[in-house]
Amino acid sequence: MITLMILTIIIPWPAAAAAEAITPKKERELGRRFHLKIAATGALLNDPIANKYYRSITDRVMRGAGLKADLYNFYILNSAGINAFAVPGGYIYMHTETIISLDNEGELASILGHETAHITSRHFARRVESSTGMSIAYLAAMLVGVFVASQGGGSSAALGQALMVGGSGATIQNMLANSRDDEAEADAKGRQYLTKAGYNPAEMYRAFRIMADRTYQVSPNVPTYLTTHPALTSRLATTFKDYAEAAPPAVDSPYLAFRDRVLALSGEPRRVQSVLTKRLNENPADHSALHGLGLLAVRQQNMSQADKLMTQALNLAPGNREYLADLGDLALKRRKPDQAKSYYEKAGQENRQAVLGLARASELLGDKTRAATLYDRAVNMETTAYPEALELAGRFFGQTGQLAKGHYYLARYFADAGNLDKAIFHYKEISKRPDAGQYRIIADREIDLLTELKKEDKK
């Protein structure tokens, strides 16, 4: 069942008094609190290949909006609902189902532009009064409850509802309900961002048309305010009417490969099997479908089938660096580090997944000097966090005697995963070391911040 939630979540700052200033610092604090809680649910899609392509789109939208990309944080959430939402402090989340439902990069950029416009318009500030008396920690927990509840029935929904106790549901409903004016402003600004980024504004019409055409099938466990998105159909007929008859866009092959990857990594297995098998029956040379089925086979622990499918895909698309990196990962899982090394080296040093894999293969083959260089590169070659790289690099440096660096990478890994206790533990280990150097300054600052977050969460 596909859950359709055409909703932009705009989260307000919970002022202690109506006149209290809403500072950028407070917005960043709320955004980080919310993100730590979301990360702790395990819902983030942490695939470096998918995230690199996604980041290329978000960076382009940021340039169109005249914003500094490094001040905004974009994440893909493994979720069945069609949705995207923005949190104060520059945190924007896109559901995997949204990516899977769209047809090209411009449509995805349209939704990102709309969400960015909600942040730059500071729409959440208009609802400050309704949240008077809520602490940051309490509000962050409540909003994570909304997200968890939206994942469907059973224990997830029960957990989400438990996080929204008492009379808080009505307060949250008031904060989440976007007005028609807010939506109109986000549409107008988002379209400007889209155009300045070099996309066709007709893509925004197509994106919202796709969303509007999907049937609502919301779980009864999900609160009704999760489906509030004012007048989308009428906006299509008015705001976007000039684009209704626009010619269809050309096939966007890079986006379709990205979409296949997201589907294979996050989709319900029977659905993935059905969609990709149907494509193969229609076109046996569809290497993206073959590779997607290989990724699904890895998820299902059928490594020999995965190797067969992914090798066939590579034969149809020789030199595809993403396929090579995935085959390297598969070879490591099959305990063949020599074969993995060959695949990773062919994938190239700009492929972050391949760099990390080559570090791991080098470590297993006894080349610790090369492994150390590659682990550092895998962690630092992009601004976005790569959890697997942080964890593996942290353990490697800890085991090879570079304890301060090892604890630093592991602290970052656990902090990004929302495990504050373990993050604080590793930062404290850095503070104990006389050779910690640059890491001590970072560690002391993070200990204070994370400890304060923990105290607030207990109130």
More confident residue, 321 or 42: 321
| pLDDT higher than 80, residue 112 | yes
Kindly state the average pLDDT of the residues 419-439.
93
Tell me how far apart the alpha carbons of residues 323 and 350 are, in angstroms, rounded to a whole number: 14
**Dihedrals φ, ψ of 92, to 5°?**
-130, 130
Kindly state the average pLDDT of the residues 268-292.
97
Alpha carbon distances (Å) from 255 to 130, 204, 227, 243, 297: 41, 16, 27, 22, 22
List pLDDT tens digits, range 20-63: 556 777 778 778 888 888 888 888 999 999 999 999 999 999 99
What is residue 177's predicted lDDT score, i.e. its pLDDT? 54
What is residue 292's predicted lDDT score, i.e. its pLDDT? 98
Kindly state the average pLDDT of the residues 297-308.
98
- Identify the band that residue 220 occupies on the pLDDT scale cut at 50, 70 and 90: very low
Helix (H, G, I), strand (E, B) or coil at 384: coil
Q: Minimal CA–CA distance to 122: which of 51, 56, 27, 43?
A: 27
More confident residue, 18 or 235: 235
What is residue 402's predicted lDDT score, i.e. its pLDDT? 95
More confident residue, 162 or 360: 360
Q: Number of helices and strands (H, E) in the chain?
A: 22, 3
What is residue 308's predicted lDDT score, i.e. its pLDDT? 98
What is residue 247's predicted lDDT score, i.e. its pLDDT? 81
Tokens standing for residue 160: 């989400």
- Identify the band that residue 274 occupies on the pLDDT scale cut at 50, 70 and 90: very high
Kindly state the average pLDDT of the residues 352-368.
98
Query: Highest mean pLDDT: which of 174-188, 219-233, 367-381?
Result: 367-381
Q: How far is CA 9 from the centre of its chain?
A: 15
What is residue 38's predicted lDDT score, i.e. its pLDDT? 86
Tell me how far apart the alpha carbons of residues 91 and 354 are, in angstroms, rounded to a whole number: 28
- Identify the band that residue 13 occupies on the pLDDT scale cut at 50, 70 and 90: very low
Mean pLDDT computed over every residue of the chain: 82
Q: What percent of the chain has pLDDT over 90?
A: 56
More confident residue, 133 or 327: 327
Q: What percent of the chain has pLDDT over 70?
A: 76
Kindly state the average pLDDT of the residues 450-456.
81
Is this structure's pTM higher than 0.95?
Answer: no
- Identify the band that residue 449 occupies on the pLDDT scale cut at 50, 70 and 90: confident
Tell me how far apart the alpha carbons of residues 382 and 48 are, in angstroms, rounded to a whole number: 10
Lowest-confidence segment of 20-24, 353-357, 372-376, 453-457 by average pLDDT: 20-24
Beta carbons of 221 and 3 less than 8 angstroms apart? no
Beta carbons of 31 and 108 less than 8 angstroms apart? no
Amino acid at 160: G
Using CA atoms of 148, 149, 151, 153 in order, give the dihedral in degrees to the nearest 10: 130
Kindly state the average pLDDT of the residues 252-260.
97
74 pairs with which residues across the strands? 92
Tell me how far apart the alpha carbons of residues 434 and 143 are, in angstroms, rounded to a whole number: 41
